[in-house]
Structure 1
């Protein structure tokens, strides 16, 4: 098969699904991993796809465009795993916490499985599904109602009403983007309103966001940076961004990214990445 034909089929697959893994493309095209990766390099250089660890996703071009869960799931896998593992250490037995929709918070959910006497309020179908698989009597999952978003979150007036009747110790929030002036943002207007309700219900706001979220601005603001008690991000964040965040956020925790393993499908779920904390400088 000619390279141009392969690349056209890859581009079609990415546009249809929003994202694709190398393993899927090798099976679809009947070629080697190396050939697929070279094709992805070509498409990435042309700006037609965005290469990510283990695959590629569709290119985002507008502040009102919300990528789907599967698109975001394959991005920055190692960073998300390290951030999620560290975020779980902030959760104590007996807490009531809120968790927003997103792939980093979804990664976080399985790290919460062994924390006793936990109540989780979430608008994420994916997070609720992970937690419900454990079927523990001391784990209570409160899933809000609402309209389903591309990120498998439940948003809108029903979700907001349910959240406003509750008070939680902490909200752990994933975001579409972070910016010095725009703050925490999302492309989805109703998601912004729902997440604002979660922020207002909590004593403490913890944001989990890898370095690629910096400088990204969605259509709707959730909260200013100064509303964030703790931000957990990875060492890919540049120094200027870290300085801005340190000035506006209560605490910035920079987490080292573990070395990738040989398996291109993703991070090792049993890895125990080293972490470090403290205000960024």
Structure 2
């Protein structure tokens, strides 16, 4: 097995099992402890895992550690792409929308071409992308504020003040964790505060979160579940879907599973 392939499989294993030891990995991948230590070090240097004494933990298991934007973009790319396409279909002509920061929101942006809309965003990568493909149909507004170097996101008091001046049709809101009972949460205080300001500005809140974010809770509470109108995700368990429905959240999945329109309101798994 080539080194890159082995490291990809090691990363996948760590993300599934959350905490692993060097000896465990050496046995599974039939290689030496020295080689596994080297692989973990390289994955840690790239910000993909957290190296610990005798092993490693998944970066998603660190509740208050912000994941760099370039590393988020490499996680669950197919799911995020399908979510972005489905979510973008909710945007109508002449809508004013806020696109939250993050790799899933960027995928929403990639499917917004040829619509005459106004987009407000805190994410410099989203802003750069929309500016590069814009042919005059999108009015693009960048919030301003202090740029976070790892996430290319604008934040701070200037950003909060800017967002509180607006009223928009739709918000596409990303997150680090989403639970039907505990609500939405994020890893950093300032991002959570920015997200709350976005929620206050929007008539309709559309959460875009892949299934790895479900049934999780991290450092800072963003909002209760009933603040969300629609959840767009790649896949969801029946129990989770029903839990969101009971709270009044419409659930839309992009994985091509057999779907049902319950009472004309929510889209979820069939019985």
TM-score band, normalised by shorter chain: 0.7 to 0.9
User: In the TM superposition, what whole-angstrom CA distance separates every residue of 1:4-38 from its partner, at most 9, and x where no partner exists?
Assistant: 44433321221112139xxxxxxxxxxxxxxxxxx
With the length of structure 2 as denominator, give the TM-score of the two structures. Answer: 0.78
Question: Residue 59 of structure 2 contacts residue 67 of structure 2 at CA under 8 Å; is this kept in 1?
Answer: no
Q: Identify the residue that residue 48 of structure 1 maps to in structure 2.
A: 56
Q: Identify the residue that residue 25 of structure 1 maps to in structure 2.
A: none
Q: Identify the residue that residue 181 of structure 1 maps to in structure 2.
A: 181
Q: State the distance in 2 between where 1:181 and 1:104 align.
A: 23
Q: Identify the residue that residue 24 of structure 1 maps to in structure 2.
A: none
Aligned to 1:247, the other structure's residue is in SS state helix
Q: Identify the residue that residue 87 of structure 1 maps to in structure 2.
A: 87
Q: Does 1:9 align with 2:8?
A: no
Q: Identify the residue that residue 271 of structure 1 maps to in structure 2.
A: none
Aligned to 2:111, the other structure's residue is in SS state helix
Q: When you count strand as a share of all residues, which structure comes out higher?
A: 2
Task: State the 1:135 CA deviation.
Answer: 3.6
Q: Identify the residue that residue 267 of structure 2 maps to in structure 1.
A: 279
Q: Map 1:262-273 to 2 at 5 A.
A: none
Q: Identify the residue that residue 103 of structure 1 maps to in structure 2.
A: 103
Q: State the distance in 2 between where 1:97 and 1:105 align.
A: 12
Task: State the 1:145 CA deviation.
Answer: 1.6
> Are residues 179 and 250 of structure 1, via their aligned partners in 2, closer, same or farther at CA, if it must alter by over 3 Å?
closer
> Are residues 252 and 77 of structure 1, via their aligned partners in 2, closer, same or farther at CA, if it must alter by over 3 Å?
same
Question: Residue 242 of structure 1 contacts residue 280 of structure 1 at CA under 8 Å; is this kept in 2?
Answer: yes
Please identify, of 101-110 and 246-255, the stretch whose mean Cα deviation from structure 2 is larger. Answer: 246-255
Q: State the distance in 1 between where 2:82 and 2:231 align.
A: 13
Q: Identify the residue that residue 208 of structure 1 maps to in structure 2.
A: 208
User: In the TM superposition, what whole-angstrom CA distance separates every residue of 1:65-119 from its partner, at most 9, and x where no partner exists?
Assistant: 111112211111111111110111111121110010011111111111221x211
Q: State the distance in 1 between where 2:55 and 2:246 align.
A: 34
Question: Residue 256 of structure 1 contacts residue 276 of structure 1 at CA under 8 Å; is this kept in 2?
Answer: no
Q: Identify the residue that residue 62 of structure 1 maps to in structure 2.
A: 62
Q: Identify the residue that residue 229 of structure 1 maps to in structure 2.
A: 229
Task: Report the number of matched residues.
Answer: 232
With the length of structure 1 as denominator, give the TM-score of the two structures. Answer: 0.75
Q: State the distance in 2 between where 1:276 and 1:7 align.
A: 46
Question: Residue 48 of structure 1 contacts residue 59 of structure 1 at CA under 8 Å; is this kept in 2?
Answer: no
Q: For structure 2, which runs of at least 5 residues remain unmatched after alignment? A: 4-30
Question: Residue 86 of structure 1 contacts residue 275 of structure 1 at CA under 8 Å; is this kept in 2?
Answer: no
> Are residues 185 and 81 of structure 1, via their aligned partners in 2, closer, same or farther at CA, if it must alter by over 3 Å?
same
Q: State the distance in 2 between where 1:257 and 1:128 align.
A: 30
Question: Residue 101 of structure 2 contacts residue 174 of structure 2 at CA under 8 Å; is this kept in 1?
Answer: yes
